Amino acid sequence: MLSNGRVFPDYESAELGIATQLAIKSISKATGATQKEIGKKFTSLGDLGLVVEHFASDKKQATLGSEHLTVEKVFKVIQEIAKQTGKGSQERKLSLISSLITSATPLEAKYLIRTLLQQLRVGIAEGVIRDSIAKAFGVSPQSVERAWNMKSDFSEIALVAKKHGEDGLKKVKLEIGKSVQVLLAEKSPDLKTALDSFDNPAVEWKMDGMRCQIHKQGNKVLIFTRRLENVTHQFPDLVKLVQKYVKSEECIIEGETIAIDKKTHRPLPFQVLSQRIQRKHEIGRMVNEIPIQINLFDVIYVNGKQLFGEPLKYRRKILERIIKPSDEFRIIGQLVTKDLKKAEKFYKEALKNNQEGVMVKNLDAIYIPGRNVAGGWLKVKPTMENLDLAIVGATWGTGKRSGWLTSFVLAVRDPDTNRFLECGMMSTGIKEKKENDTDVTYESMTKMLKPFIEKTEGGIVRIKPKIVIEVAYEEIQKSQNYSSGFGLRFPRFVRIRNEKSERESETMERIQKMYDMQKKV
């Protein structure tokens, strides 16, 4: 787990809760450097791992007699850090972190801090760990991946591979309470192509919400996101719905949770629901302010039986059998057809109801967790016209992006006030290294934007709106997070519009028009 910068598997809700400021205080306590000195060094290096390595090299001789660190000891201390809650928890965390740094060599201290901040940056992704386990214990990468898809914990999978080899990996089964890698959909260019891809297609609304994997065992309920994050604490109302409307003793079901307007009862954009996903406090207030509805679409486990090998049409019947539907907790509507006109009508209804589009699913396909599966699910969404937007801010990068501007703040122009209003933040589409002549890198963007920097506060930079870029995106949404009142979902850099001045960037009127148009597609 530590090799890819993580301490706990995805399905565990435990968190280290170590912010940058706590790390700086810990480095100060362990090395004797002042917090001001550490902050200044952090600004120049952009990596607290390098910062602690620098100051740890100057530690007094008295610290050299500290206890020698082992991986086991480090892991136990990190787990102890995660257990610290309540009054005085920050001081206890501070003491534990500084004790690790005090006992560490400068190089060890660098990787300790990076691990604690979950910013290890050694390039070890899941595929590397999978192949390493396979090579170490003489098993196939395919068997390791299959087992990991079931349990999402490489430490457990490595232990099985070591003790029981290939046969043991093949016997790994999912467990209630341990999230399973979800089946993903591929994108289809249009609805006709999607319908023609399957002999037995069904069309469902693609909801603009949070994909949920719900585990139920008796009265115990756990909720995981598409990324396998445990969000049970944030959704006590969903827990109660599961307890009330799911009739089976044990099951793992999937659905899409959406936010609902309290007055109109119409679906709200995902960005409204996202306020609840990250919320740690005042949960009751958020439950009241942002009510939810869940639309279930699949079941992969019921009362001891895995359903991966069963076709969707059979899984759907099982789902219908174990659910008592209500207005808040229901099975998603489904249209079984190859008729393009009927499917198009269904698609337009989805867009009219503020949804993303539709899913076209093969009713004969089995459920294969962990990847996009050809012949399984296809998503169809409207393609929106690109926008020309001004860059008005950015964030100084850290780690391997240190010294470069990243996370660029995008803005539209209000002709009435001549102000530029924020509408999103973008990083996707910019390259770290130039691969061909047309590539734009973080370095080249930084050189271009530096002359227009107006203000810097910490790592946040305000930029005079002089550079216009073309941006692709999936959708325009209403958003309280940006001054324009709109937010771009998944914005992606396309190209620099050198031929355009900031006066020629998109206006508020244009954004409003594009927002209205996408609801009519």
Q: Tell me, what's the pLDDT at 454? A: 84
In a domain, 70, yes or no: yes
Overall average pLDDT of the 283-312 stretch: 94
| DSSP alpha helix (H) spans, 415-478 | 442-449
Q: How far apart are CA 297 and CA 308, in angstroms?
A: 14
List the single range of 49-58, 120-129, 401-410 with lowest mean pLDDT.
Answer: 120-129
User: In this structure, are 296 and 213 located in the same domain?
Assistant: yes
**Model confidence at 39: pLDDT above 50:** yes
Is 357 a domain residue?
Answer: yes
- Give 248's pLDDT tier (boundaries 50, 70, 90): very high
Is 509 part of any domain?
A: yes
On whether both 355 and 425 belong to a single domain, the answer is: no
Q: Residue 374 — pLDDT band, cuts 50, 70, 90?
A: low
CB atoms within 10 A of CB 39: 15
* pLDDT of amino acid 343: 96
pLDDT number for residue 64: 44
- Distance CA(135)–CA(299), nearest Å, equals 34
Q: Which residue has the higher pLDDT, 116 or 336?
A: 336
The residue from 365, 380, 395 where one domain ends is 380
Look at residue 372 in the predicted model and tell me its pLDDT: 52
Mean pLDDT value of segment 456-462: 84
Comparing 235-239, 409-413, 428-432, the range with the smallest average pLDDT is 428-432
22-27 mean pLDDT: 88
Q: What CATH code is carried by the domain that includes residue 81? A: 1.10.3260.10
Same domain flag for 287 and 419: no
Residue 73's pLDDT band (cuts 50, 70, 90)? confident
Active site residues: 206
Structural domains counted in the chain:
3
pLDDT of 408 over the 50 cut:
yes
Helix (H) or strand (E) holding 267, with range, is strand 267-268
| Assigned domain for 298 exists | yes
Confidence (pTM): 0.68
User: Which of 350, 380, 410 is the C-terminal boundary of a domain?
Assistant: 380
- Range picked from 147-156, 218-227, 240-249 for highest mean pLDDT: 240-249
Q: Which of 61, 82, 116 is the last residue of a domain?
A: 116
- The answer to whether residues 273 and 290 belong to one domain is yes
Is position 251 within any domain? yes
* Residue 362 and residue 334 in contact, taking contact as beta carbons nearer than 8 Å: no
349 and 400 within one domain: no
Q: What integer pLDDT is reported at residue 12 of this predicted model?
A: 66
Answer whether residue 227 shows pLDDT above 90.
Answer: no
Residues 397 and 514 in one domain: yes
Instruction: Quote the domain boundaries for residue 328.
Output: 191-380
Is 11 part of a structural domain of the chain?
Answer: no
Statement to judge: residues 417 and 444 lie in one domain: yes
Residue 105: inside a domain, yes or no?
yes
Coil vs helix vs strand at 517:
helix
Cβ neighbours of residue 106 closer than 8 Å, sequence gap 6 or more: 52, 53, 54, 56, 57
Residue 448: give its domain's CATH number.
2.40.50.140
Q: Are residues 477 and 505 in the same domain?
A: yes
In this structure, the answer to whether residues 394 and 459 fall within a common structural domain is yes
CA distance linking residue 244 with residue 250, whole number of Å: 14
Does the residue 41 lie in any domain? yes
- Asked if 506 and 414 count as a contact pair (C-beta separation under 8 A), the reply is no
Question: Sorting pLDDT into bands at 50, 70 and 90, what band is 413?
Answer: very high
Count Cβ neighbours within 10 Å for each residue of 11-22 and write b for 16 or more, e otherwise.
bbeeebebeeeb
CATH label of the domain that carries residue 284: 3.30.470.30
Is residue 126 pLDDT above 80, yes or no?
no
**Would you state the pLDDT for residue 383?**
67
Higher pLDDT, 175 or 222: 222
Q: Are residues 369 and 425 in the same domain?
A: no
- CA distances 361 to 183, 317, 338, 347, 499, Å, are 12, 15, 11, 14, 44
What confidence score (pLDDT) does residue 188 get? 85
User: Cα–Cα distance between 126 and 63 in angstroms, integer?
Assistant: 37
257 with 339, same domain?
yes
User: Residues 399, 250: one domain?
Assistant: no
